[in-house]
A = this chain, B = another copy of it.
Amino acid sequence: MATKTTLKGIAEHLNLSISTVSKALADSQEISDSTKLLVKTAARQLKYRPNAMARGLKSSRTNTLGVVIPNIMHNFFAKVIVGMEEEATKNGYSLVTCISNESLEKEKQSLHMLSDVSVDAIIISLTSETQETNEIEHLKDILHYDIPLVMFDRANSDLACDSVVINDYKGAYDATAYLLKTGCRNIAFLSTLNNTSVGNKRLSGYQAALSDYDNTLVPKVVYTKLTSLENDLGTFIDNNNIDGLITTDESSAIYSMNTLRIKGKQVPEDVSVIGFTDGNLARNYFPSVTTVKQQAEIMGKKAVQIALKNLNNKEQHEPVQEVIETELVIRNSTKTI
């Protein structure tokens, strides 16, 4: 095996001092063009690559961003990561990604680890557990050490840091309004996001749309989990006559449509269905699913943009919340107007 060439290596090779080599590679004006050329060609020949750790130790800049997401199997988060990766790479940064798996404990560990490896900033979407318990000491610690923190999607308003969120309220409002416009009057809201900021906002949007349209309409909410959805929705359907259904994520929409099918209901003839998250499933199911599209990639890019901005300008500022609008993608699981 070969050992990696260091500044010292190329310095010895050329009979120069380490600092001359360092400066030459950094294109310092102190160095003559001739030696610059010399050094640079030698560096190329010897396949020199700067050691990021050593550089980071000195400059306390690592050009890495830490990311914590609750779940990578979720289409939405995967897409966010794609956006982040693209934007980070474009700016010479790389991503260290942790999966908290919806566990507060794992979230804490991840933050510790990211802090240990001196990432320049941290981007996080909170676990449901964090949002339920509102335990945020570990996040305050990060802020306390002056590591730029930006939250995305699942944010916490008690924390003095920037965030980028979806306009979940309006997304749900628009979805509900659309169903009303197509003639639905018994619209249920099925949520798998019981205690998250996101779930609450969508619920409010749904409720507001109903009462804005006709305040005699009563909201009907089903709280469930993916694992018990077919049961919960099944019994709900047995006891309630609905003609519209809004679900808080993509899989729920699909599961719901399967349940409706089993119960002998046609989609969209008997019941219109709208989901959130515009992924493969929604696009390719039969019938294809009308969906509130969250601009996941844009969100990812925005999040790293904000992180990089904060990192380059560490002055205190009021927390800024960037809101990304949704788009209702109309497909075949809803009636046409």
Q: How far is the CA of A79 from the CA of B99 in the complex (A)?
A: 12
Tell me whether B82 and A78 are in contact (CB under 8 A): no
**B72 & A78 in contact (Cβ 8 Å cutoff):** yes
Q: Which of A139-193 contact B (CB under 8 A)?
A: 141, 144-146
Question: In the bound complex, what is the Cα–Cα distance between A64 and B53 (angstroms)?
Answer: 12
By beta carbon, the residue of chain B nearest A284 is B254
Task: Please give the distance in Å from A332's CB to the nearest CB on chain B.
Answer: 12
Residues of B within 8 A of A251 (CB): 280, 284
A51 within 8 A of B: yes
Min CB distance, A270 to chain B, in Å?
A: 16
On whether the beta carbons of A284 and B284 are closer than 8 Å, the reply is no
A318: Cβ under 8 A from any B Cβ: no
Q: How distant is the Cα of A146 from the Cα of B75 in the complex, in angstroms?
A: 36
B-chain residues with CB within 8 Å of residue A62 when the two chains form the complex: 53, 117
Least Cβ distance of A46 to chain B in Å?
12
Provide the residues of chain B in CB contact with A255, threshold 8 Å: 284
Q: 8 Å CB contacts to B: which residues of A48-84?
A: 49-54, 56-57, 62, 64, 72-73, 75, 78-79, 81-82
A95 to B81, CA, bound (A): 14
Q: Which among A108-116, A128-136, A216-224, A319-327 touches the partner chain?
A: A108-116
Q: Tell me if A285 is interfacial: C-beta within 8 Å of chain B.
A: yes
Nearest Cβ in chain B — how far from A36, in angstroms? 22
Contacting pair B79 A73 (CB below 8 A): yes
Contact between A112 and B284, CB atoms less than 8 A apart: no
Name the interface residues of A235-264: CB closer than 8 Å to any CB of B.
Answer: 251, 254-255, 258, 261
Q: Is B254 within 8 A of A116, CB to CB?
A: no
Is A98 positioned at the interface, with any CB of B under 8 Å from its CB? yes
Q: How far is the CA of A284 from the CA of B257 in the complex (A)?
A: 10
A145 and B48 alpha carbons, distance in the complex (Å): 12
A interface residue numbers (CB < 8 A to B): 1-4, 47, 49-54, 56-57, 62, 64, 72-73, 75, 78-79, 81-82, 85, 89, 94-99, 106, 109, 112-113, 115-118, 141, 144-146, 251, 254-255, 258, 261, 280-281, 284-286
Other A-B pairs beyond A1-B145, A2-B145, A85-B98, 10, CB < 8 Å: A1-B146, A4-B145, A62-B117, A73-B78, A73-B79, A85-B99, A95-B96, A254-B280, A255-B284, A281-B281
